[in-house]
Every structure is written in C-alpha cells, then in structure tokens.
Amino acid sequence: MDPNPEKIIIGIAELVVVHNPAILVTIGLGSCVAISIRDPVARFGGLSHILLPSIAESNNKSNPMKFADSAIEMVVDILLQKGCQKNRLEAKIAGGASMFNISGNTINMGEKNIAAVKKKLDELKIPIVASDTGSNYGRTVEFHIASGIMYVKSAFHGVKEI
C-alpha cells in the first residue's frame, strides 16, 4: 500500500469518488456538511461537501452537488457504477455548525443540513457509523479511503478520529 496516498481537495458544492488509496480533504466546513460514503470491500469511497439541504426547495438547481439530497444520490450512483454493493455502504458525516448567533434568528442552516443528510442516508438505508456535527465551530475533514477513518480537525478542539 502506498505510504503517501494522494490528497484530493474537495471544494464547496463538489464531490469526488475514488478507489484506494487516497485521502479526500475538505476545508472550512461551517454550516456545510461533509458526507463520506465507502464500500470497504470494493475499496471505493466518496466525499461530498454540501451547502444546502434540498435541491427540491431551491430556485437555482444548476449545481446538484450543492445539496444534501442530490449530492448523496450522485455519490451512491457513482459508487454503484464502480461495482460497490449498496448493502456494504457506510457513511460518516461532519460539520453542520451554527456559526452565527443572531438573536431572534430561528434559521439554523447547520441543523437543517444535518437533518437533510440523515434523512437522505436513512431513505437509502446507508448507516451513519460515525459523526461529528453541530456545535459552533468550523471543521476541516480528511477522509482516508483505505482505513475508512475520518479525521476532523478544528482550531480550538484539535483532531478527532471518527
């Protein structure tokens, strides 16, 4: 196995699906959520950095990778095309912070994103095996396809391994 696998950066409203060995990285998750989905047997995995909960509720549908529901469907479709089996897929999620405390503001996009991600994964019967979501701080994620480990880094909370 390659001791220094390639690191691939995934930006906001992007997704990547790759075969071992690779490390998928997304930086600066605030209210956004990173969703990793992996088939440990086929050794494929994907990471998506979503910005909003639902494409159905949006006026601008030009980038389906921006939304929890459509991005998750896209990753799963690509994994299945690559020979992964749906019953082996597992997910890890991170992000969904409440970054701004505005008094009287009841719209918490982080919470809505987390709920949308969980709903879509549940619909697709893909278990969430680990998560680091919510609170009020940003995160950076490194998802290691080979091991399935997601490292969640934050300025004031160090590194969590999930």
> What's the farthest any 2 CA atoms get from each other in the chain?
53
Annotated active-site residue in 32, 71, 76, 141: 32
What is the per-residue pLDDT across 68-99, written as a single tens digit (0 to 9) for each? 999 999 999 999 999 999 999 999 999 999 97
What is the per-residue pLDDT across 113-133, written as a single tens digit (0 to 9) for each? 999 999 999 999 999 999 999
Secondary structure percentages of the chain, helix, strand, coil, to 5: 20, 40, 40
The candidate with the shortest Cα–Cα distance to 44, out of 19, 69, 65, 8, is: 19
d(CA 68, CA 118): 9
Residues 6+ away with beta carbon under 8 Å from 146: 1, 5, 20, 21, 43
Domains of the chain: 6-161 (3.30.1330.200)
Tokens of 65: 């990778």
User: 104 falls in which pLDDT band (50, 70, 90)?
Assistant: low
32 catalytic residue (yes or no) = yes
